[in-house]
Amino acid sequence: MHVELKDITKTFGTLRANDSLTLSFAEGRIYALLGENGAGKSTLMKILSGYQPPDSGTIFIDGRAVTFQTPADALQCGIGMLHQDPLDVPNLTVLDNFMLGRREGLLPKRKAARQALTAHATRLGFEIDPFRYVDSLTIGERQQLEIVRLLSLGARLLILDEPTTGISAEQKHMLFSALKRLAAEEGMTVILVSHKLEDVAALCQEVYVLRGGKLVGHRHMPTPIDELVTLMFGQSLPRPTRGAHNLGAEILRAESVSLTARRLTVRDLSLSVRSGEVIGLAGLDGSGQSDFLRACAGLQPLNGGRILIAGVPIHGKGYAELLRMGVAYAPSGRLEEGLVDGLTLSEHFALTTNNGLWINWRAANALAARQIARYNIRGAPHSPIQTLSGGNQQRTLIALLPENLRLLLLEDPTRGLDVESTAWVWQQLLARRDQGAAILFTSPDLDEIVTYSDRVLVFCEGRATLVEDLDDSARNPAERLGELIGGKRT
Ligand SMILES: Nc1ncnc2c1ncn2[C@@H]1O[C@H](COP(=O)(O)OP(=O)(O)OP(=O)(O)O)[C@@H](O)[C@H]1O
Ligand SMILES: [Mg+2]
């Protein structure tokens, strides 16, 4: 199947999100769509997959002009899209989700559906339990489910919008080999939207680069990473480095903590964190690192042991009380937990400032405007949060963190951010650290963990191992962590 986009334009008010874009995708090839946050990537892919119509321009499939009213139309023509934020229905089982969107009569029986699900999953090397509830799955598992669903519905062109944000290295490896096999053996066309240039280099054969809604480059791989960065941002950026800083009093103490994460129990976790410290939590997706973060925020019960904030046990305290003690938690599922679909930016800031019966709208609007300027968010106080690009939603989440925090608990804080924004967000976070906050964060990106952590807690098979001396060894720290994550003993 050969797909062509011709002169596609899409505006939102006065903003030209896509400006007369012409791109072409051949059968059996793997493409990357690159560009900084807000460049127009998701907008274009939503047009190609029938989620929104273009203002003008045409989509051709094998030379024939097509128009899509709905995603189902696009899927019928063989175009399926995996979204930046999962669209599945969390309180249904895997099997029920798989059966969504299927027309009556196609696969009427649950048993047949289950067999189809398992067959597609096995072909791709995915392990999916049909009877689990979707809200108990990791992001990586939900994504595998969605890919399997799209393939079973006949997708011939698969669009993946930032699929590797939030999944483990192992899941990424599995995903990439499945995609390569689909392209080479079955003629599937793949479009990867990503900020991770190593991923693009590992997977893609051709690259399109957008900037400010315009197409600014088309390259065949291999192309040097520097050249791609220059196309995306207009210049290459220096990488930030870890600096020396002062440690203060103990802020967080975990004593022989035991907690049950999704499938496993983490036992006997002890940790002491001081003001001014950054602790990275590493591990395969779902190894307990996110659950430990949530436990520190009072959002996950313990089986045993205790957690203290500045010497005070948090047992029995809710998140609101911990927030008053200077603890803040930012989850990675942007539109599921951190932000509220349908609310504007001002309304989000109103929620953070509201401490009485009445909302002070003038103050909320002013705060929103201030934070939009300070965090360089592309949006206005009256913009509904879901109209912001993924990266700008993530900036908003960081901007919503209250001032004067003692402990920041961050789940994948730079998920979906381009390189420039990632460096910038960390600059903001390290400024908080320099004011005396302690930071605990998870990330599937080992480079990010190595770059910003003072110490690393590695989660593997129910054990948490503390790595104190990242730079002391002659070996590459990311490699060393990788081995621990994979289960190699020290
Ligand atoms: N429904 C909408 N209403 C108003 N503006 C929108 C809407 N959808 C997108 N935009 C705007 O269009 C621009 C492009 O957004 P888009 O989501 O395509 O960016 P992106 O390249 O995917 O960025 P990111 O890497 O951050 O996900 C942004 O400025 C965004 O705020
Ligand atoms: Mg996007």
Q: Which structure tokens are listed for 146?
A: 């969605």
Longest pairwise C-alpha distance within the chain? 69
Beta pairing partners, 199: none
Q: What share of the chain in percent tops pLDDT 70?
A: 91
Please report the pLDDT score of residue 375 as a whole number: 86
Where the chain has pLDDT below 70, the residues are 84-90, 101-108, 165-166, 235-244, 333-337, 354-357, 472-474, 488-490
User: Which numbered ligand comes closest to the C-alpha of 16?
Assistant: 1
Please report the pLDDT score of residue 296 as a whole number: 96
Closest ligand 1 atom to 394 CA: 26
> Distance from the CA of 29 to the center of ligand 2, in angstroms?
22
Nearest Cα neighbor of 45 from 254, 190, 146 is: 190
Please report the pLDDT score of residue 285 as a whole number: 77
Q: Supply φ then ψ for residue 384, to 5 degrees.
A: -65, 140
C-alpha–C-alpha distance, residues 383 and 185, integer Å = 44
> Distance from the CA of 33 to the center of ligand 1, in angstroms?
14
C-alpha–C-alpha distance, residues 281 and 289, integer Å = 6
> Distance from the CA of 216 to the center of ligand 1, in angstroms?
17
Summarize pLDDT for 8-19 with one digit per residue, the tens: 999 998 889 999
Class of 250-326+402-485 in CATH: alpha beta
Torsion, Cα 469 472 478 481, to 10 degrees, reads -40
C-alpha–C-alpha distance, residues 38 and 17, integer Å = 8
Sequence ranges of the domains in the chain: 3-233, 250-326+402-485
Please report the pLDDT score of residue 192 as a whole number: 97
Kindly provide the residue ranges of all beta strands, DSSP E only, lying in 122-249, ordered along the sequence: 157-161, 189-193, 206-211, 214-220
> Distance from the CA of 457 to the center of ligand 1, in angstroms?
36
* pTM score over 0.85: no
Q: Specify the amino acid at residue 246.
A: N
User: Which numbered ligand comes closest to the C-alpha of 161?
Assistant: 2
Residues whose CB is less than 8 angstroms from the CB of residue 90 and which lie 6 or more positions away in sequence, other chains included: 133, 134, 135, 336
Run of H or E residues at 80: strand 79-82
Average pLDDT, rounded, for the chain: 87
Q: Classify domain 3-233 at the CATH superfamily level.
A: P-loop containing nucleotide triphosphate hydrolases (3.40.50.300)
Closest ligand 1 atom to 45 CA: 18
Evaluate whether 3-233 and 250-326+402-485 have a shared fold.
yes
User: Which numbered ligand comes closest to the C-alpha of 41?
Assistant: 1
C-alpha–C-alpha distance, residues 145 and 94, integer Å = 7
